Structure 1
Amino acid sequence: MSDIKMDVVSPERVTQTAVQLAGLMIRTSNLAEQHTATQKIAPLWQRYFAERVQTHRDGQLMYGVYYDYQSDMDGEFSLLAGTTATEAQACDLTLIAGDYLKFSAQGEMPQCVINLWQQVWRYFASPKCEYQRCYLTDYEVYLDSHRVEIYIGIKPLT
């Protein structure tokens, strides 16, 4: 297994504009994802690679967008696996504009993104964390086959 390099000590705060996306969608929970019989995320990505990746334009990024949260990371949520919508595609989801914290990692997929999510959860569970998740939209951007960024929607500081 290759080394996984992460920048989680100090994630970068960024402001995201709205982005129209097209892709495949499922509804699941983190609890369901812990059991092979109820997992939906891995089969969604397998289906996406089988049906959609070959239609990507050069340089077009892949997104994994988490949205429609029932409550927080313990409730159900929806996931879109996709890319930016083109003129020929209908928009399936609009990425919500707003403030996000960006976490970055590189390494062997899918373990790299799994490890990065664990770092994200630890970051927000830390008593030193000054941000709160808003649970509206979070997303992954796959820069290439070994680099991923996770963007977590945050509430404004008060």
Structure 2
Amino acid sequence: MNLTIIKSIRANNFKDRAIIQKIANMWEEASSILKNHNEVTYGLYYDYESDYKGDYTLSVAIESSDNESPIKIPETSKYKIFEVDTLDEYGILNTWKEIWEREEKRDLERAYSFDFEKYYPNGQIEIHIAIK
């Protein structure tokens, strides 16, 4: 899969006190570019410093047919897919908490390559976690 980056930030879920505002600002800035985009949009997590407690890069991205796209996700990557409850205001955050808890219990062995939230035009959201 080839992705074109719209906007990116460097973040940390536990050390960055303004994390929610940083993410909201990034999506707001990207939405002005995406306003006429009616296809799947991605929240792409990559360039991990360590595990989920370390720094990472988060980007808003769209699929691209351009082979020169800055991000190429290997077709051979394996993913565990988590469905987000979109009726829950905190559905995305709660799904990430579930992912982190499963990792802590050693019920999920993450690869820390490319993870992504996949936002469908119909409102459905999935979180794809790269696994070993």
Q: TM-score of the superposition, structure 2-length normalised?
A: 0.83
Q: Please name the residue that 1:111 is paired with.
A: 90
Q: Distance in 2 between matches of 1:102 and 1:86?
A: 24
Change (3 A) 1:65 1:96: farther
Q: Give the secondary structure class of the aligned counterpart of 2:51.
A: coil
Q: Which amino acid in structure 2 is aligned with residue 95 of structure 1? A: I
CA shift in 2, pair 1:108/1:42, >3 Å: farther
- Output the CA distance in 2 between the equivalents of 1:49 and 1:63: 12
The one-letter amino acid paired with 1:64 is G
Unaligned 5+ segments in structure 1 are 1-18
> Which residue of structure 2 aligns with residue 3 of structure 1?
none
Per-residue CA distance 1:46-67 (angstroms, 9 max, x = gap): 11112x21241x4x10101100
Map 1:115-126; keep pairs closer than 5 Å: 115-126=94-105
- Report the Cα offset of residue 120 of structure 1: 1.1
C-alpha deviation, 1:90, in angstroms: 5.9
Q: Are 1:94 and 2:72 matched, yes or no?
A: yes
Closer/same/farther in 2, CA of residues 21 and 94 from structure 1, 3 Å limit: same
Q: Does 2:8 align with 1:25?
A: yes
Unaligned ranges ≥5, structure 2? none
Alignment partners' CA distance in 2, 1:152 and 1:125: 15
Distance 2:87 2:30 in 1: 19
Give the structure 2 partner of residue 49 of structure 1: 31
One-letter amino acid of the counterpart of residue 31, structure 1: F
Evaluate the alpha carbon distance shift between residue 49 and residue 74 of structure 1 in structure 2; reply closer, same or farther with a 3 A threshold. same
SS in 1 for 2:50: coil
> Which one has a larger percent strand, Structure 1 or Structure 2?
1
RMSD over aligned CA atoms reads 2.4
Number of aligned residues: 130
In structure 2, the CA distance between the partners of 1:37 and 1:29, relative to structure 1 (3 Å rule), is closer
Find the aligned partners of 2:47 and 2:126 in 1 and give their Cα distance.
Answer: 20
1:145 and 1:40 mapped to 2: Cα distance?
A: 26
Distance 1:47 1:106 in 2: 25
